[in-house]
Chains A and B, each alone.
Chain A
Amino acid sequence: MFDFTILTDHFGTYLKGFGNTAYASVLALAGSFLLGTLLAVFRITPVKPLQWIGTAYVEFVRNIPLLLVVYLFFLGLPSIGVVLDPFACGTLGLAVYTAAFIAEAVRAGILSVPKGQMEAARSSGLSYGKAMRLVVLPQAVKIVIPPLNNQFINLIKNSSILSVISGFDLMFYADRIASDTYVVFSTYIFAGLFYLLLTLPLSYATGWLERRLARHD
């Protein structure tokens, strides 16, 4: 049932796709973490317009498919004259989409830090921004890490969307191998193993972190 020659003959091709998938995931994670944290802070600031922006972004993006976000970059932008290559479109789409989920995770983390902490920091003379950055966020990080890890796993899985817009990721190369060799079953099994190589360690790390944090509480 398993045709191992697929793996040995096309190892380089798999590896190229694996590298691109990992690269796109890391870039999108960094982007979505920055944007997501910003949005989370927006949502809990006392400034109303910022709250609206944060809430609107999160509610809107969370309720539309990733594919649609990616198409906005891939088809929408060129229709008004801005052309980015498929890899960039896919990675940007992933970052914009995942940011909405990260914003929620970070917000929950911040809200879990007792209010007294913020009040104490403010009354000892720190500005809102400084109190957030130096007192609240560092405590929130601990709570945020397991859900963030989960989002990263989702991000890696979702990065397969690049294959739809020819983004040279693992899935794209798996398609190419399958249509070159006509061996579909084994080709996708091996592609799946490459994905597991990325996601399983993170999955276990999340479980481990959750158990550890639970013990400390």
Chain B
Amino acid sequence: MSIQFKKETFRNDYTFRNSQWAIDRFPFPFHEDSYMYSVNMEQHQGGPKGSVFEKRFDVDEHYLSEMEDRAIVLAEDPLRCQSLPHMTLAGWDLLELIMVSKSEDYPDLFELHREGNNWRWVNKPMNIDDQFVFMDETTLPYGPMEYITRQTQGDFAVLDQRDDNLWMDAGMVTTQADWSLDFDIGMNFFEWHAPVPKAHEMGIFVRALKFLLNIQQGSPARRLNWTMTVNPLLDTSPENYHKWGVEKSTLAKENVGEKQHLRVELQTFFRLPRSNALVFPIRCYLIKLEELVTVPKWGRRFHRVIRDLPEELATYKGFINNRPMIVEYLSAFDDGQPTSDGIWPD
């Protein structure tokens, strides 16, 4: 099917909604009735037809509105996009990866024409038709990473690999779950994960780093992560916490199904060929509780997960105060029936 792009907002009047198509393909992240950290990695080599796992870079109905929201964030705060000088080559790698992937995966929406280093990129949904010289920054309106990530949903952390570690040396981060590129830039893998509770003691990060360092060209990987967000806000950044943090206190019995969202990140990992850097796209999918509970299995399971989540995790994910209200709302959709294994609806 061709995608019907929606005009909607992720701020002020919050007109964001999922269509039935988007609900049906939502990446529900819980494969069982409880949740604990794990290095839940798998190969990113396609997935069920129509699912968000199918393409290398998923494009959905929220594409144009998400790109508009990103442009607003960048206009207010240019430091959301940064690239240390040695990361320009990785930026070209990323531009190539996305242009090749999107033009192959969505030929009706994107075209890439290459003659040597003379490239022409056509992005039909965004009305872009640009000619430039590959590896020549002066021929693009932005640096290569910024240029392509202004046209691609999801945040991007571009990680340099050296000294058996990964370093947050470039990124485009405007749809983040309360972390800051400007704060983390230049940090290594253990430094930027320092605030996460429990996982260090469990040895999660040592194992995860070992896995990531060994991701090879042609063998990308993926995992899901999740948190909770009040109102469909893409930009839940520390920089703007004074704006969105207070919105958590607007949650009430009458509006919890409409305002409370499950926020799922599809995290993918690709080795970049010329720079040997690793790119870490973090794609955010939002769904209102009232949309989520339309799938009976998800309603039952989500109630049990949220109810039984360890306190540290509910605190870290920022919804400890609202948890009783959320659990009460969800309990109406849990009839106690058993749920089937795996994330897919029955």
A complexed with B:
no
Residues on B facing A (Cβ under 8 Å): none
